[in-house]
Structure 1
C-alpha cells in the first residue's frame, strides 16, 4: 500500500473528513488563556542527547511541516534536543482517532499502519515504513486525532508535546529579543533613543548568517543597511584614492559597520566580506526612518556623537562604509 504524504495539509484534510463524526466538538478550540511569556520561559525542559545523524534525520523530517517553517537553526536544535524516545511493540496503538492530541511524533524506525473509520470499524488507509511524521498540528492547538496509528513491528519514535514546544520557542524568542536589545544599545549613535524607540527598532532588524568568504556588500552598491557584528569577523576592503593599494579594516563582535547608510544612501565606498562564518544584526535604514523619522534627526539629538560620525564619514578612509 502506498505511503501517505507527510505534509501538514494531510492532517487538515483528515480533520475535515471526521469533523462531523464527533458531536462533542464542533470546532477547533483556540487556547486563549495561559501563562505569560515570561512564566513559560521560566519552565525548564529535559534534554535527550542525540547523535548528529539523528539530529539530521529529525531536521529533514520536519523541514516542510507547518510548525517548523521559518524557525532558525539554533531554535530547531533546541527543539530536537528536547524530543524524547518512545519504544513501541507490535500492535501497540500510538494515537487513537478522535482523541485530543498534544504530542507530535517522528518515526525513527519501524512499520506503522494508518487506520481510519467510525463505529469501531477502521480500515487501513496507508502505512509508514521506517520514516514519516504525524501529529504536527498538535504542537499548535488541541484537536481530535484524524487517524489511528498502530505499530506493525517493534519500533522507535521521537516525541514532543505542545507545552515543551511552546516553552522552547517562547524562551528562544525572549532571549533573542534581549540579545538584540543589548547589541543595539552598544551602538553609540542610538544611545539618545527613548526606551520605546529602542524597542521599536527590533521590528526593523534581522539576524543574518554569512558563509566564509561571502560578500556582505560591494563597493558601488547603494548604502541602505547598517550592520552590527554578532559573531565572527568582517573584513572591510577599499582602494585608496590615487593608489592601487588595498586598505583592510576588520570588525569583530559588537562592532558595527555600514554607518554611512545612517547619513545618506550614496554608493558604498568599500566592500565587506565575511572572514569565516559571520552572524550580523542587519538594520534596514528606510524601514527605520519610516518608524522613527529621519536618522539625521535622531543623530542630532546628541551632537557629540553626530560630529563624531560626520568626522568619520567625511574623508575617504579605510573605515568609511
Structure 2
C-alpha cells in the first residue's frame, strides 16, 4: 500500500517543492526591457544595423576584399577609380579607390573598426574616471566634494571637442616625431577626458541619496570600510543611468573622433578611420571624386544614428516614470 493510499503526508524534496530557477537568458527574454525593444520596429532596425556594422568591422581582416595596410599590394595606377557601376570603374573595387589606390570598401571596414575601438575605449575611460570621482564626492562630501565638483564646473565651461583638441595638441607637441603609433591612445585619452563630468555629476547625485539608506547604515554598523561600502553596495545601485549615458556618449565619441581626424589631429592617413577618410576625400570632392567622401560619410552617419536610437530607447526603457 502506497503512502498516499494510507493517507500519510508525502514529503517533497526541496527541488520538487519549488520550480527550478530560470536562466539568465530566459529571464532577459521575459523582461520588460526585451518587450520594449521588440515592440519598436525602428529600435529593432537600429539594433540590427549596429550589430551588422560592428560585426563587419570586427571581421574586417576576414571579409575585406583588400588589405589597405599592405603597402606592397597598393598600386598608384589604381588610384582615384570610381565605383564599379560607374563608367571607368574597376570590378575589383566595388566602391572605388582613394588617392593612394586603396579600396574604399576595405578601408571603410578597417576605418570603422578603428573608430569604434577608439570610441568604446574612450567611453570606458570616461566611465571609470567619472564614476570613481562621483562616488568619492557623493560619499565623503565636504571639501572633497567641493574640490571635485568645482573641477567639473570648470571642465563644463569648455566644449568637449576643445578639450580633446587641447590634450591632443599637447601630446603631439611633447612627443613630436616620437609618437610611434601612439596616436590611437592619444585619441582615447583626449576623448575620455572630455566626457567624464556627466558621469561624475550623475553618480554624485545618486550617491547622496543612496548613502542615507538603511543598507548603507547597516554596512557601517558591521564595520565595513568606506571603500567596500562605496564599491560593493552603493556602486551597483547607481549604474543604471551610467549605462544609458554611456550608450549615448558612444555616438558622441564616434563623432568626436571623426572631427579630430578630419581636423588632422587624429589618426594618420596610413591608419584609416572614418574621420581620416572623410578628411582625405574632402580634398578631392570638387575634382569629381565624390565617392571618397560620400561612402565614409554615409557609413559614419548611419552608425551614429543607429547608436543614438539605441541610446534613446535605453533611456526611455530604464526610466520608471515612463512605464
Greater helix content? 2
Q: Report which of the two has the higher share of strand.
A: 1
